[in-house]
């Protein structure tokens, strides 16, 4: 069994592959950020990526929707391989949603316009239809009353929830979360994590970079531990938090817990 | 000078309403030895300079009737006198739109009653000081005038300050505008400027009467139009909101051209040709192109649109090559239309969408094509007006017109250049950087000379360009480089995360640029762009060197060559200095207010 | 789930997109297409201009530079043809350039002084000072500089007639409608020897300062570095004044260099330039590859990287082609002008030069007119004076704003912190506030200097013989517009580049190291 398929329960193993990374390497000039990473995410799986800062975990998920371009190996998302093919890039981008650490809402657009932007311009939906959908999503993340406000008028937690709604509006098959709670004040973290938990329960395929161990333990199907650009260990939460195999994993968990 | 404030200072103690003048003077003028020295030194310098300036204005040789007689020349140059109603109508149209816009965008200067009082007192005191410094040759009318203005504004100012003790009440823009109009009307009808004019080729200076009624009545109407249209703008703005503003924005882009070619120039259309060629062509391009655009804007047709656009682009480029070698004849209009059509088709996938979006895109194309064809036809047609001494445009109208259209034309060019300069594509970056740095490295005058002398040389046989158009092209090319640098500042302020979020949502590069990046970048660069508009306005004076009859040329060579006013340069030059100052200064003041408003909006 | 991933047909990492959908190919194709398009447009235009010029039988090239000028210049280091020195076209253009630089340099100095004074007084707490400087700034910067220049010309033109007695101090300061003249100090024959000698002495002074500094750091106390520097400087200036003729040996040395340059064969220069181009390209590619290299080996190169390297190689080939085939004159031009440069230097140190480095003169008139250049006072013709005054006042208003903005940009916390440390107000200003303000001021100040240099071209409006005006006279004579415009461009670009190089160097020196 390859490292990518470690710790697959029977249920997971029977599902289709959603994201397959094989031997993914990435250099920033002379610095190698990813060293032959092998990871597989199954359909409807929640995978949490752990690791110290600079371990390449953000780079990995940024490669998956081609915000960064990997130089070796292959990444296949839902059967579409990420290459220089413009058509494939377009398809991947509209199927993979991404939530950033810094929210990255568009400050010159209202909350509603932020959410309807991509459905209207990329999915070519009508404005009315997009707005209906947007209101539903705002309802779902719990802030329908903020629709007409501008991002600058919202708190960090509210902004991040809008960002999640914005990604969901594209009806993605996969959601990537890049440290979604790191830029938030402690009292706002819970509201964002709740939304993410709902999403996971709803059967969304998710890949989450986070330091929230509680979330990882409760929601994740599998955890990946990365260090200096390599996948060190893959396992179920149970395995990780009770009996990690590698020394480096033990050290990291002891520091963070 | 040791009393340097190291922190931002509020503009000198303004709470004078509650302190006596003596106390105020003690605090602001004589608080310490160095302060007292500064007061004495700077008062002496100020008085000396003002006296020298007044000496220049009212020296024995200075004949201000040279300006008064030539006001029409300075404003509109040689426009035929019997057609002057066209000028008034155009001014009316432009001012009406200006008033509407001020109302629709709800421009508020935030002028308080206290400031009004202070300004009036300042004007009063300054006029009285001026009166004291007047040289002996100054005409009596000026002496009495200064005293009257000084006393009246001092009295009103003091009264205002007494009436409104807090001084913090904000005056609405409508009130300010109305007040200005009342004062202007009073001056217009009451002050005996004297009537000057040509009677049988002889200049007549008839003192004692007021401004000729030929200008008094139109000015009155114009002032009323401005005040009323502002009110209308406020009301309509509340009713219609965004659509009124969109309509006004469209007016400001094509309106002035419309005014020039319909009202001022009145093209002598060859109607037979228009019916047989121009109109059919315009409709073929508008409707045919519109249908194609509506078709390829449908979702899922993006690759078709790009392919079609690329083929069209090759074809239209080939048309231009053919033009240079004279291979086959084709109307220039058709070449331009094909080129624009190709570019639009290539860009259309980015703005495609559901039926209503497509309808809007296609509608925009139809309207744009019709306007473009009308404009080209109008430009290429002779005017019905007979101008005795060309050029057609001159004076203040030329100055403002050139400045306006140079800004308008260099804007898209500048934005493209700045995008190329900040792009990740190395060849684009190098080309645009080279263009910007070379143009910014050389003086404007060499660029203007280059275009007015070299452009005709570069053109193939049978193609020509008028002097003014060549100068305009050169000025646009020059201004675009500066525009690009100003926009680049804004582009650099857009954070990386914005690009990433747009990419992650699947927006294409064109969509990302036009929907996310540019709106944010342009907002940041507005103050710099206004600064550039001021610079462009001021530097139109260089047109005088390359042969245009702008304000400077008229004041510096036309008037001093008139037999009546041989060598009278100083009054004219001082007068146009004042004109330039008033416009540039008010633009810079409003840009400061705009900047403050944007900062507030950002902090929201 | 799409059937693609369930079928085993897909082999990861092997799918290659077709060319028309390959992002890297499209990107480079678009760039090259635009580049070729732009080059083609230029080519068309230049071809068209050549045909049009040929139709008027105007030769294209720079051969006319050595022709006699056949016109007079308004003012400058040489205005008419003399038996000693012919006024050729190139000489006339050179005179124009010197005039431009003269105005620019003086304008920069005076507008800086005036601007700093006004900018600081705008921050004064004194009501009159503040209002005066606000009015100064707003008034001057909102009136076009060209209008101001012409207004100055009109005002100066209305002054009294020119006689030796016109002006505030008869015989010493002349202010008239022909211009302004003051006593002046000028560079005499011995200056270049003197300057060379001073350069040698300055080296010694720098070494001495370093020694003193070292001692001060080691032993503490005040070693009077400033005083010592000043004293040595004065002494060496006096010594150099007396013995400067010893440097005359430099003349033959430069002469030898001139001959050596002139003797370089054209083929050698071509080879040298080609080799330089190739070396530059190779160096660039190596540097590029190095940046992709890590201890673990070379990173995988993307298509983009390959395109870049191929493109730069192509550029190198084009450069070699231009040097060898396209423009053989380039090499001989470099040889000739290099040799001319050393020739000029050798002249400056040649025979009959030496003795006094500086001299002084009072204003003199010959035949009731100013002497054009040479043994007379410092004369500003009305043209010079009007453009000088116009530029200085206009630019000083902008510099005042730059200075004010720079001082305001220093956070008030800085002066508070300095006060808390016990620094006096003057010390705080000198050691804390001004150094920080200077950093903010420097870039826009450099911009203003560039503007002054470019605005000297407005001299054409008042008939001042600066480069643009002289160039216009030239192309009106011989229709060599294209060549003259290329000279304009090279001249102004080199001015801009040198000013921005100086400003950037200062900026780099001043930059706070952040992280």
Summarize pLDDT for B42-100 with one digit per residue, the tens: 999 999 999 888 888 888 778 787 887 788 888 888 888 788 888 899 999 999 999 99
* pLDDT score of B205 more than 60: no
- The per-residue b/e assignment along A98-118, b for 16 or more CB within 10 angstroms, e otherwise, is bbbbbbbbbbbbbbbbbbbbb
Q: Which of A166, A76, A80 is nearest to A119 (CA)?
A: A166
Mean pLDDT over each residue of chain B, to the nearest integer: 85
Calculate how close chain A gets to C282, using CA atoms only, in Å. 19
The C-alpha torsion from B294 through B300 and B302 to B305, rounded to 10°, is -50
Flag the least confident range among B38-42, B553-557, C10-14, C440-444: C10-14
Nearest CA in chain A to C12: A74
- B141 Cβ neighbours under 8 A, 6+ residues apart: B192
Residues C272-280: what's their mean pLDDT?
92
Nearest CA in chain B to C485: B450
At A113 the pLDDT is 93
At B118 the pLDDT is 86
Q: What is the crossing angle of helices B395-421 and B426-441, to 10°? A: 150
Summarize pLDDT for B336-375 with one digit per residue, the tens: 899 999 999 988 888 877 888 888 889 999 999 999 999 9
Residues B207-226: what's their mean pLDDT?
77
List the single residue in C49, C311, C408 with the smallest CB-CB distance to B457.
C49
Contact A30 C299 (CB under 8 A): yes
C429 DSSP assignment: I
End-to-end CA distance of chain C: 49
At B197 the pLDDT is 59
Residues of C in Cβ contact (< 8 Å) with A20 = 5, 12
Query: Which chains have at least 3 CB atom pairs separated by less than 8 Å from chain B?
Result: A, C
Nearest CA in chain C to B545: C461
At C136 the pLDDT is 95
Mean pLDDT over each residue of chain C, to the nearest integer: 84
The Cα C64–Cα B499 span in angstroms is 55
Q: Which of B314, B424, A93 is nearest to B306 (CA)?
A: B314
Residues C167-195: what's their mean pLDDT?
80
* C contact test, residue of B314, B420, B449, B528 with most C CBs within 10 A: B449
Summarize pLDDT for B248-293 with one digit per residue, the tens: 999 998 888 888 888 888 888 889 999 998 999 999 999 999 999 9
Contact C144 B453 (CB under 8 A): no
Nearest CA in chain C to B539: C144
Chains A & C: contacts with CB separation below 8 Å: 79
At C251 the pLDDT is 82
Residues C221-227: what's their mean pLDDT?
77
Residues B179-207: what's their mean pLDDT?
71
What is the DSSP annotation of B412-459?
HHHHHHHHHHTSS-HHHHHHHHHHHHHHHHS-HHHHHHIIIIIHHHHS
Flag the least confident range among B77-91, C132-146, C500-514: C500-514
The Cα B51–Cα B49 span in angstroms is 5
DSSP element (H, E) containing C338:
helix C329-348
Which span out of B18-32, B319-333, C262-276 was modeled with the highest average pLDDT?
C262-276
Contact A80 C26 (CB under 8 A): no
The Cα C256–Cα C268 span in angstroms is 19
The Cα C439–Cα B561 span in angstroms is 51
Contact C13 A81 (CB under 8 A): yes
At B70 the pLDDT is 82
List the single residue in A108, A118, A124 with the smallest CB-CB distance to B505.
A118
Question: Which two three-digit tokens encode residue B387?
Answer: 């101008």
Flag the least confident range among A205-219, B151-165, B471-485: B151-165
Nearest CA in chain A to C9: A79
* pLDDT score of A51 more than 50: yes
The Cα A239–Cα A221 span in angstroms is 11
Q: Tell me if chain A has a CB within 8 Å of the CB of C291.
A: yes
Percent with pLDDT over 90 in chain C: 26
At B11 the pLDDT is 46
Residues B5-10: what's their mean pLDDT?
44
* B contact test, residue of A104, A130, A148, A183 with most B CBs within 10 A: A104
Residues of A in Cβ contact (< 8 Å) with B506 = 90, 93-94, 118, 122, 170
Give residue ranges of A with CB < 8 Å to any C CB. Answer: 16-17, 20, 22-23, 25, 27, 29-32, 43, 69, 71-74, 76, 78-81, 83-89
Residues B187-204: what's their mean pLDDT?
65
At C51 the pLDDT is 83
Contact C292 A29 (CB under 8 A): yes
Q: Which of B603, B347, B519, B599 is nearest to A117 (CA)?
A: B519
Q: Tell me if chain A has a CB within 8 Å of the CB of B498.
A: yes
Confidence of residue C15 (pLDDT cuts 50, 70, 90): low
3-state secondary structure chain A: CCHHHCCCCHHHHHCCEEEEEEEEEEEECCEEEEEEEEEEEECCCEEEEECCCCCCHHHHHHHHCCCCCCCEEEEEECCEECCCEHHHHHHHHHHEEEECCCCCCCCCCCHHHHHHHHHHHCCCCCHHHHHHHHHHHHHHHCCHHHCCCCHHHCCHHHHHHHHHHHHHCCCCCEEEEECCCCCCCHHHHHHHHHHHHHHHHCCCEEEEECCCHHHHHHHCCEEEEEECCEEEEEECHHHHHHCCCCHHHHHHHHHHC
Using DSSP's 3-state secondary structure scheme, residue C190 falls into: coil
The Cα B308–Cα B41 span in angstroms is 74
Which residues 312-351 on chain B approach chain A with CB closer than 8 angstroms? 350-351
Q: Tell me if chain C has a CB within 8 Å of the CB of B72.
A: no
Residue with more model confidence, B16 or A170:
A170
Count other Cβ atoms within 10 Å, centred on residue C57: 7
- Cβ atoms of A45 and A14 within 8 Å: the answer is no
List the single residue in C120, C132, C308 with the smallest CB-CB distance to B1.
C120
Residues A132-137: what's their mean pLDDT?
94
- Cβ atoms of B415 and B432 within 8 Å: the answer is no
Q: Tell me if chain C has a CB within 8 Å of the CB of B6.
A: yes
Residues C340-347: what's their mean pLDDT?
84
Residues of C in Cβ contact (< 8 Å) with B443 = 454-458, 468, 492
List the single residue in A30, A69, A81 with the smallest CB-CB distance to C15.
A81
In a 13 Å sphere around the CA of C129, the CA atoms on its Cβ side amount to: 26
Largest CA distance in chain B: 85
The Cα B189–Cα B223 span in angstroms is 13
* pLDDT score of B603 more than 60: no
Residues C235-246: what's their mean pLDDT?
85
Contact A74 C24 (CB under 8 A): no
Contact B445 C493 (CB under 8 A): no
Confidence of residue B2 (pLDDT cuts 50, 70, 90): very low
The Cα B376–Cα C180 span in angstroms is 54
- The per-residue b/e assignment along B49-69, b for 16 or more CB within 10 angstroms, e otherwise, is ebeeebbbbbbeebbbbbbbb
Do strands C365-366 and C293-294 pair parallel, antiparallel, or not at all (unpaired)? Answer: unpaired
Residue with more model confidence, B384 or B325:
B384
List the single residue in C35, C138, C460 with the smallest CB-CB distance to B431.
C35
End-to-end CA distance of chain A: 30
The Cα A240–Cα A225 span in angstroms is 9
List the single residue in B29, B545, B569 with the smallest CB-CB distance to C461.
B545
The Cα C112–Cα C399 span in angstroms is 7
* pLDDT score of B15 more than 50: no
List the single residue in B1, B2, B573 with the smallest CB-CB distance to C150.
B573
Residues A93-108: what's their mean pLDDT?
92
Residues of C in Cβ contact (< 8 Å) with A80 = 2, 4
Residues of B in Cβ contact (< 8 Å) with C44 = 321, 324
Residues C186-202: what's their mean pLDDT?
84
List the single residue in C38, C123, C147 with the smallest CB-CB distance to B9.
C123
Residues B184-213: what's their mean pLDDT?
65
List the single residue in B39, B442, B573 with the smallest CB-CB distance to C489.
B442
Summarize pLDDT for C442-495 with one digit per residue, the tens: 889 999 999 999 999 999 999 899 999 999 999 988 888 888 999 999 999 999
* pLDDT score of B5 more than 60: no
Q: Tell me if chain A has a CB within 8 Å of the CB of B524.
A: no
The Cα B468–Cα B389 span in angstroms is 15
Calculate how close chain A gets to B502, using CA atoms only, in Å. 8
Residues of B in Cβ contact (< 8 Å) with C107 = none
Q: Tell me if chain A has a CB within 8 Å of the CB of C299.
A: yes
- Cβ atoms of A99 and A180 within 8 Å: the answer is yes
- Cβ atoms of C418 and C490 within 8 Å: the answer is no
* C contact test, residue of A69, A80, A84 with most C CBs within 10 A: A84
Residues A26-31: what's their mean pLDDT?
82
Residues A63-68: what's their mean pLDDT?
90
List the single residue in A72, A79, A86 with the smallest CB-CB distance to C26.
A86
Which span out of B93-107, C37-51, C177-191, C427-441 was modeled with the highest average pLDDT?
B93-107
Would you call the peptide bond into B391 cis, given omega within 30 degrees of 0 as the criterion?
yes
């Amino acid at each position: 069994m390859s490292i990518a398929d470690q710790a697959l329960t029977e249920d997971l193993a029977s599902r289709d592959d959603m994201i397959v990374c094989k031997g993914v390497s990435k250099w920033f000039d002379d610095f190698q950020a990813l060293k032959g990473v092998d990871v597989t995410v199954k359909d409807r799986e929640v995978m949490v990526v752990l690791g110290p800062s600079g371990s390449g975990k953000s780079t990995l998920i940024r490669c998956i929707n081609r915000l960064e371009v990997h130089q070796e190996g292959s990444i296949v998302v839902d059967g579409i391989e990420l290459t220089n093919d413009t058509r494939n890039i377009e398809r991947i981008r509209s199927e993979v949603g991404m939530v950033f650490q810094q929210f990255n809402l568009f400050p010159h657009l209202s909350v509603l316009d932020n959410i309807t932007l991509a459905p209207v311009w990329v999915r070519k939906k009508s404005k009315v239809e997009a707005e209906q959908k947007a209101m539903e999503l705002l309802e779902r993340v719990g802030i329908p009353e903020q629709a007409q406000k501008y991002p600058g008028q919202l708190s960090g937690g509210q902004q991040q929830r809008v960002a999640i709604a914005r990604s969901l509006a594209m009806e993605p098959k996969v959601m990537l979360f890049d440290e979604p709670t790191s830029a938030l004040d402690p009292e706002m973290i819970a509201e964002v994590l709740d939304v993410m938990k709902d999403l996971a329960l709803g059967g969304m395929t998710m890949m989450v970079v986070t330091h929230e161990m509680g979330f990882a333990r409760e929601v994740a199907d599998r955890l990946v531990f990365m260090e200096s650009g390599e996948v060190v260990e893959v396992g179920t939460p149970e395995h990780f938090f009770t009996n990690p195999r590698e020394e480096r994993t033990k050290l990291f968990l002891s520091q963070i817990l | 000078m040791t009393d340097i404030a190291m922190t931002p200072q509020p503009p000198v103690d303004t709470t004078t309403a509650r302190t006596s003048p003596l106390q105020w003077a003690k605090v602001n003028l004589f608080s310490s030895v160095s302060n007292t020295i500064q007061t004495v030194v700077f008062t002496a310098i100020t008085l000396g300079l003002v006296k020298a300036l007044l000496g220049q204005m009212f020296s024995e040789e200075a004949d201000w009737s040279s300006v008064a007689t030539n006001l029409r020349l300075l404003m509109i140059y040689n426009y035929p006198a019997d057609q002057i109603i066209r000028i008034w109508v155009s001014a009316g149209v432009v001012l009406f739109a200006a008033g509407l816009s001020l109302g629709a965008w709800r421009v508020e200067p935030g002028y308080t009653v206290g400031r009004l009082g202070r300004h009036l007192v300042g004007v009063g005191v300054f006029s009285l000081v001026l009166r004291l410094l007047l040289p002996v040759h100054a005409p009596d009318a000026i002496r009495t005038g200064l005293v009257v203005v000084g006393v009246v504004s001092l009295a009103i100012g003091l009264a205002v300050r007494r009436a409104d003790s807090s001084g913090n009440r904000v005056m609405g823009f409508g009130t300010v505008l109305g007040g200005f109009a009342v004062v202007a009307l009073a001056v217009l009808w009451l002050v005996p400027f004297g009537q000057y004019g040509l009677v049988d080729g002889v200049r007549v200076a008839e003192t004692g009467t007021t401004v000729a009624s030929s200008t008094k009545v139109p000015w009155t109407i114009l002032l009323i139009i401005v005040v009323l249209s502002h009110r209308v703008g406020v009301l309509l703005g509340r009713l219609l909101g965004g659509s009124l503003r969109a309509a006004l924005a469209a007016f400001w882009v094509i309106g002035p051209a419309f005014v020039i070619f319909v009202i001022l120039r009145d093209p002598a259309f060859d109607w037979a040709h228009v019916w047989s060629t121009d109109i059919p062509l315009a409709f073929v391009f508008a409707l045919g192109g519109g249908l194609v655009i509506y078709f390829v804007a449908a979702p899922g047709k993006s690759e078709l649109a790009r392919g079609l656009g690329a083929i069209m682009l090759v074809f239209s480029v080939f048309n231009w090559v053919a033009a240079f070698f004279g291979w086959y004849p084709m109307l220039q209009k058709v070449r331009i239309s094909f080129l624009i059509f190709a570019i639009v088709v290539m860009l259309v996938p980015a703005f495609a969408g559901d039926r209503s979006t497509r309808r809007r895109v296609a509608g925009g194309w139809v309207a744009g094509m019709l306007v473009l064809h009308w404009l080209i036809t109008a430009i290429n047609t002779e005017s019905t007006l007979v101008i005795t001494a060309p050029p057609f445009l001159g004076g203040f109208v030329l100055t403002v017109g050139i400045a306006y259209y140079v800004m308008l034309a260099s804007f898209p060019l500048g934005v493209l250049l700045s995008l190329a300069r900040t792009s990740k594509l190395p060849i684009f970056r190098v080309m645009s950087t080279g263009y910007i740095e070379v143009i910014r490295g050389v003086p404007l005058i060499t660029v203007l000379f280059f275009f007015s002398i070299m452009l005709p040389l570069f053109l193939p046989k049978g193609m020509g360009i008028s002097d003014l158009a060549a100068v305009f092209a050169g000025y646009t090319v020059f201004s675009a480089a500066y525009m690009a640098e100003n926009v680049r500042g804004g582009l650099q302020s857009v954070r990386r995360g914005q690009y990433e979020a747009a990419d992650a949502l699947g927006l294409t590069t064109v969509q990302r640029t036009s929907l996310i990046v540019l709106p944010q970048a342009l907002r940041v660069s507005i103050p710099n762009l206004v600064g550039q508009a001021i610079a462009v306005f001021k530097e139109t004076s260089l047109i005088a060197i390359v042969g245009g009859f702008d304000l400077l040329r008229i004041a510096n060579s036309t008037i001093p060559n008139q037999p009546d006013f041989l060598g009278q340069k100083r009054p004219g030059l001082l007068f146009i200095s004042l004109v330039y100052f008033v416009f540039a200064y008010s633009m810079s003041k409003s840009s400061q207010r705009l900047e403050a408003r944007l900062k507030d909006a950002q902090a929201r | 789930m799409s059937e693609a991933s369930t079928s085993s047909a897909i082999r990861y990492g092997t799918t290659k997109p077709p060319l028309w959908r390959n992002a890297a190919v499209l990107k480079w194709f678009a760039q090259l297409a635009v580049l070729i398009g732009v080059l083609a447009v230029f080519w068309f235009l230049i071809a068209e201009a050549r045909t049009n010029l040929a139709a008027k039988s105007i030769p294209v090239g720079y051969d006319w530079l050595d022709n006699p000028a056949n016109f007079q210049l308004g003012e400058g280091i040489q205005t008419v043809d003399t038996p000693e020195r012919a006024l050729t076209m190139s000489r006339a253009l050179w005179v124009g350039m010197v005039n431009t630089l003269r105005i620019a340099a003086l304008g920069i100095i005076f507008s800086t002084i005036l601007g700093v004074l006004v900018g600081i007084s705008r921050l004064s707490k004194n009501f009159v000072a503040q209002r005066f400087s606000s009015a100064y700034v707003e008034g001057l910067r909102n009136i076009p500089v060209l209008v101001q220049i012409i207004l100055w010309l009109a005002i100066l033109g209305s002054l009294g007639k020119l006689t030796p007695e016109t002006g505030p101090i008869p015989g010493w300061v002349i202010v008239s409608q022909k211009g302004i003249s003051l006593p002046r100090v000028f560079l005499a024959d011995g200056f270049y020897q003197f300057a060379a000698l001073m350069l040698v002495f300055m080296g010694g002074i720098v070494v001495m300062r370093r020694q003193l500094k070292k001692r001060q750091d080691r032993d503490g106390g005040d070693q009077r570095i400033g005083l010592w520097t000043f004293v040595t400087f004065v002494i060496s200036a006096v010594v150099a004044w007396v013995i400067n003729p010893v440097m005359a040996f430099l003349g033959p040395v430069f002469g030898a260099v001139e001959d050596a340059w002139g003797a370089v064969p054209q083929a050698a220069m071509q080879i040298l330039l080609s080799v330089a181009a190739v070396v530059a390209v190779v160096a660039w590619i190596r540097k590029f590859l190095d940046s992709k290299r890590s201890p673990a080996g070379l990173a995988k190169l993307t298509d983009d990287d390959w395109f870049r390297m191929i493109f730069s190689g192509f550029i190198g080939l084009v450069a070699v082609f231009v040097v060898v085939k396209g423009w053989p004159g380039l090499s001989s031009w470099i040889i000739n002008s290099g040799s001319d440069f050393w020739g000029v230097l050798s002249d400056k140190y040649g025979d009959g030069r030496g003795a006094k480095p500086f001299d002084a003169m009072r204003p003199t008139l010959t035949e009731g007119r100013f002497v054009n250049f040479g043994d007379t006072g410092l004369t500003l013709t009305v043209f010079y004076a009007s453009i000088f005054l116009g530029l200085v006042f206009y630019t000083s208003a902008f510099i005042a704003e730059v200075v004010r903005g720079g001082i305001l940009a220093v956070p008030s916390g800085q002066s508070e912190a300095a006060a808390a440390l016990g620094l006096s107000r003057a010390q705080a200003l000198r050691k804390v506030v001004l150094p920080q303000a200077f950093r903010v001021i420097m870039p826009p100040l450099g911009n203003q200097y560039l503007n002054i240099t470019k605005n000297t071209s407005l001299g054409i409006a008042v008939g001042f013989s600066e480069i643009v005006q002289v160039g216009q006279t030239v192309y009106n004579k011989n229709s060599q517009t294209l060549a003259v415009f290329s000279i304009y461009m090279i001249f102004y670009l080199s001015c801009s580049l040198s000013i921005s190089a100086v400003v950037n160097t200062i900026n780099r020196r001043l930059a706070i190291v952040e992280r």
